[in-house]
A and B are shown apart, each in its own frame.
Chain A
Amino acid sequence: MLWFLLRRVVFGALVLFAVSVLTFLMYFKLPAGDPARMITRKPTESREYQLARERLGLDDPILVQYARFARGMIPLPGLFLDEDVYFSYQSNIAVKDELLLRAPYTIALGVGGVVLTLLITVPLGVAAGLRPRSRTDSTAGAFVLASISIPPFWLGGLLLFVFWFKLGIAPSSGIPASESAWEAVLAGRFILPWITTVVALGAIYVQLLRSEVSEVMGSDYVRTARAKGVPRRRIVVRHVVRGSLSSVVTVLAYDVATVVAGAVVIETVFNIPGIGRYAVEAVTASDLPVVMGTTVVFAVAIVVTGIVLDVAYLYLDPRVRYGEGSI
């Protein structure tokens, strides 16, 4: 198990390296603009422009420039997202500081959204799978259709318009300066974003569970349990649901990473100052340090999630064991 985890960490580091190199090269190959001009807004002959180029090391070889960013990916104090390299060209604020300020809002959005998604979709999917062609199954089908069809930006705008603007029963978009992420949650500011997240993510969970539960209900061990007189409820909870969850966990893990890394559209529609918006604004503004910094964070989130997922499988499905051949 230890070897397995070690190999996963090494593999994760390689993934992180590859992602960072690709991001860096894309920035240089695409017409992203001159950072020194972006910062100083001065002509290229000006002293300010020349100093900015020196300060940013823009005339160094590309490998040297990448090495500066690469150093900031080492997860050690003083090195990780080093403020001298990872600072926004637009705002001059250290990427680390911005991420720390924004992370609570993204986590509140992501975790809350995923929890609500599970609370709604798991019972719905299981119930639909247990009762094929019933009204419950039809409801699940309708939910899946709506979830696939409705774009999150449209739904978010609609929810705001109806529940805030017209009915006045939901808070408006944005988070006041006086509210922390937790206070904003308590003030109900994340309810509409969470609902939007449920619709954005929910289809696959309902559909997966529907089909998994249906399949598992017909399997030999469930038939055996029934034959032995095990109560239905116990069969469903201890055997059927547990057996169906492994595929859901796979999807869930990557959805958590994606949502926590930044549900950009939802953050934009509801004006939540999260990491996703920060990343997209940086891409639009060709703000390389922010793009690199957020890419590192996203990649780490996905890699760590993958490792956690693999460990979770061991618990959920005793048939899974990781041998020498596993990556």
Chain B
Amino acid sequence: MRAKRLFATLTVSVLVTLGACSGDGGTEDEGTPTTEAQPGGTLRLGAVKDCRAACDPQRQQDQFPTTLFDCCLLRTLVKVEPAPEGPTFIGDISEDPVVSDDGLEFEFTLREGVRFGPPIDRPVTAEDFIATFERALSPATEAFDAANYRVIEGAEEFAAGEAPTISGLEAPSPNVLRIRLSEAAPLFLPNLASVSAAPIPPELMQGHAKDYGRFLVSTGPYMVEGIDAVDVSGQQEPASGYRPGQALVLVRNPAWDRASDPIRGDYAYPDSVEVTIGGSVEDYSLKIDRGELDMQIDGTPPASALRRYSTDEALQARVVTEETAAVVYSTMTVAAPPFDDEHVRRAVNWIVDKSAVIRLIGGPLNGTVAHHVFPNVSIGGALADYRPFGTANDAGDPERAMEEMAQSAYDSDGDGRCDAPECTGVIMLGSPESPGAEIAQSIADDLEAIGLEIDVQLLENRYELLDEPSNRVPMNTWAAWGTAPYDPSEIAGPVFHSEFIGPKACCNEVLLGATPSQLDGWGFASDSVPSVDADIEACDQMPLGQQRSDCWVALNQRITEMAVWIPLYEEKITRIVSENVVAAPWSPLYQFIAFEQVSLSPDG
């Protein structure tokens, strides 16, 4: 009895403590401060996931640390600014590039004053770029975008170990780099904006094939704390400023010359950047509320926090949101019944309640309904009003869906419901992670109205099944793919070209372009499926510009109307910033918040 009374007393005490501390947090919600911000201060960021591959810029492309590479650590030859009429190129380390008329030769003149930071502390030269490309193309590096550089003349031979150097790379002088391609590649120049093409000093390449990221030498306004203590010639200990799984600290790079940097030279406001690694989005949200963190890099803020901030006028200014060139979708394999019938696929597109999906992802701050396969941003917004399966409030249209289904061979009585045996037990793979699981169930519930009984299977390793066409998986949901903000080729090819079918290639799960013998070999009853290979190849060959954009727009419409996907939503990047942040501008060059342009309140 006494024990029960004591426990009750303890419980009540806790509850009273909680009740007494009502309100939104330990700090007053004042929204964005109105005091004038000065350069200075420490920008405090949070990263949910640590770097892969020891933060090697050639071996990983995750949001953290790539966003920090772009703004603060690694300069590249050029940067790309997306525009509706086609991207424009801004010289970063290089002056404006000179391109030959046939698009096969490029000449880059490196700017004066561009130097490697400590411990190298010398000018960046053309030879450094040659060494960097060689490292990227070396199979031992496992560079994520080595394929982008294989169009350089001699690159294939070098990568195969048949040549000691890449014949298409020349350095006629220390500050001039010439690149010759073996074939026209419209995206070669914009691909040089990738951090994997940022110069790496050869002095630190030796012995760091797997862990260069821990010895990262900066060319930007900041450097990893402690990198100046690395002994280049002797026993090398990693820079102390990066503690795997814990934190990354950036400090000002003394070797950076503002005058040589047209992109960042006017900025570099914070004195330092401290990144906490490994916390959860909920943890970071609370810290932002208390002003102990300025923003998170990766991960989406909790839905509850987004709701609170977006509905409170005093806090709305602290929400930064931008569209991305990434789309989330469900796939329907065109060879697998009942989706081998276009009417069934179109009926599915009519019935799915996309507004429910938006609610499940936490609202319009996290995404906008997608109406076609290529993200709007990637085609310059040309199809912003194109909605071939548009419904009132994006809630789905059962009538239209049933009309479509009635035309299908799988609806024998024409009542608008799929009634063939193939309509039951249709497997849909999904992710067990939230909200993927909820989205899968929501779609499955919608499809019931047109007679499709979906068997939702949520698997961590679903892509191992999807990559093997002989598994004949009919549907996959909550898949995502992104592309460059100026061009949808990174979606078009890998997701719809026949070259990318199967485990040896990935990721054309819908099997567009599969040959009859392939289909037979995988056990499909269908002996032919549509193909868009020729359209993709035609668009891909065109130089960047209006003609290429128009080509992608037409292809987008064709694939959308084939209904091989259910485009669900286009992702947005949404972040909440603390009250210490006076300004957090979005950079079209980095496609993220420009951390070097963030100005902090002197009161913070």
Give 14 new A-B contacts, CB below 8 A, not counting A91-B50, A173-B279, A174-B278.
A50-B139, A55-B140, A90-B52, A91-B53, A92-B59, A98-B245, A101-B245, A165-B26, A165-B289, A174-B279, A175-B246, A177-B241, A273-B246, A278-B245
Size category, B interface = 35 or more
Contact present for B26 and A168 (CB under 8 Å): yes
Which residues of B lie under 8 Å from residue A31 when comparing CB positions?
Answer: 461, 464
Which 3 residue pairs spanning A and B have beta carbons closest together?
Answer: A177-B247, A166-B21, A138-B2
Chain A contacts with B in 110-149, Cβ cutoff 8 A: 135, 138-139, 141-142, 145-146
Contact present for A277 and B245 (CB under 8 Å): yes
Which residues of B lie under 8 Å from residue A41 when comparing CB positions?
Answer: 144
The chain A residues found within 8 Å of chain B, CB to CB, are: 31, 33-34, 39-45, 47-48, 50-52, 55, 87, 90-93, 98, 101-102, 135, 138-139, 141-142, 145-146, 158, 160-162, 164-168, 172-178, 271, 273, 277-278
Mind listing 28 A-B residue pairs with CB under 8 Å? A31-B464, A33-B464, A42-B142, A43-B503, A44-B503, A50-B139, A51-B140, A51-B142, A52-B142, A91-B50, A91-B53, A91-B244, A92-B59, A93-B54, A102-B245, A142-B6, A162-B17, A165-B286, A167-B26, A172-B290, A173-B279, A176-B247, A177-B241, A177-B246, A177-B247, A177-B274, A273-B246, A278-B245
Which residues of A lie under 8 Å from residue B461 when comparing CB positions?
Answer: 31, 33
A142–B244 CA distance with the chains assembled, in angstroms: 41
Q: How far is the CB of B342 from chain A (nearest CB, A)?
A: 29
Contact present for A162 and B464 (CB under 8 Å): no
Contact present for A177 and B290 (CB under 8 Å): no
A92/B56 contact (C-beta < 8 A), A146-B10, A174-B276 known: yes
Q: How far is the CB of B458 from chain A (nearest CB, A)?
A: 14
Chain B contacts with A in 1-55, Cβ cutoff 8 A: 2-3, 6-7, 10, 14, 17-18, 21, 25-26, 50-54
Contact present for A172 and B503 (CB under 8 Å): no
Contact present for B274 and A176 (CB under 8 Å): yes
Q: How far is the CB of B543 from chain A (nearest CB, A)?
A: 28
Question: How many interface contacts (CB-CB < 8 Å) are there between A and B?
Answer: 131
Q: How far is the CB of B465 from chain A (nearest CB, A)?
A: 10
Q: Which of A43, A92, A141, A172 contacts B3 (CB 8 A)?
A: A141
A142/B140 contact (C-beta < 8 A), A93-B211, A273-B243 known: no
A244–B492 CA distance with the chains assembled, in angstroms: 73
Which residues of B lie under 8 Å from residue A45 when comparing CB positions?
Answer: 504-505
Chain B contacts with A in 132-181, Cβ cutoff 8 A: 139-140, 142-144, 146, 159-160
Closest B residue to A267 by beta carbon equals: B278
Q: Which of A39, A91, A139 contacts B6 (CB 8 A)?
A: A139
The chain B residues found within 8 Å of chain A, CB to CB, are: 2-3, 6-7, 10, 14, 17-18, 21, 25-26, 50-54, 56, 59, 139-140, 142-144, 146, 159-160, 210-211, 214, 225, 241, 243-249, 274, 276-280, 283, 286-287, 289-290, 292, 461, 464, 503-506
Q: How far is the CB of B149 from chain A (nearest CB, A)?
A: 13
Q: Which of B26, B159, B210 contacts A92 (CB 8 A)?
A: B210
Contact present for B249 and A142 (CB under 8 Å): no
Closest A residue to B504 by beta carbon equals: A45
A101/B244 contact (C-beta < 8 A), A142-B7, A176-B274, A271-B278 known: yes
Contact present for B6 and A138 (CB under 8 Å): yes
Contact present for A271 and B283 (CB under 8 Å): yes
A166/B7 contact (C-beta < 8 A), A44-B503, A52-B142, A172-B292 known: no
Contact present for B278 and A273 (CB under 8 Å): yes
Contact present for B276 and A176 (CB under 8 Å): yes
Contact present for B142 and A273 (CB under 8 Å): no
A173/B243 contact (C-beta < 8 A), A31-B461, A91-B50 known: no
Q: Which of A39, A51, A160, A162 contacts B139 (CB 8 A)?
A: A51
A146–B11 CA distance with the chains assembled, in angstroms: 10
A166–B143 CA distance with the chains assembled, in angstroms: 46
A176–B140 CA distance with the chains assembled, in angstroms: 34
Which residues of B lie under 8 Å from residue A51 when comparing CB positions?
Answer: 139-140, 142
Which residues of A lie under 8 Å from residue B14 when comparing CB positions?
Answer: 158, 162
Contact present for A98 and B244 (CB under 8 Å): yes
Which residues of B lie under 8 Å from residue A40 when comparing CB positions?
Answer: 142
Closest B residue to A90 by beta carbon equals: B52
A39–B248 CA distance with the chains assembled, in angstroms: 22
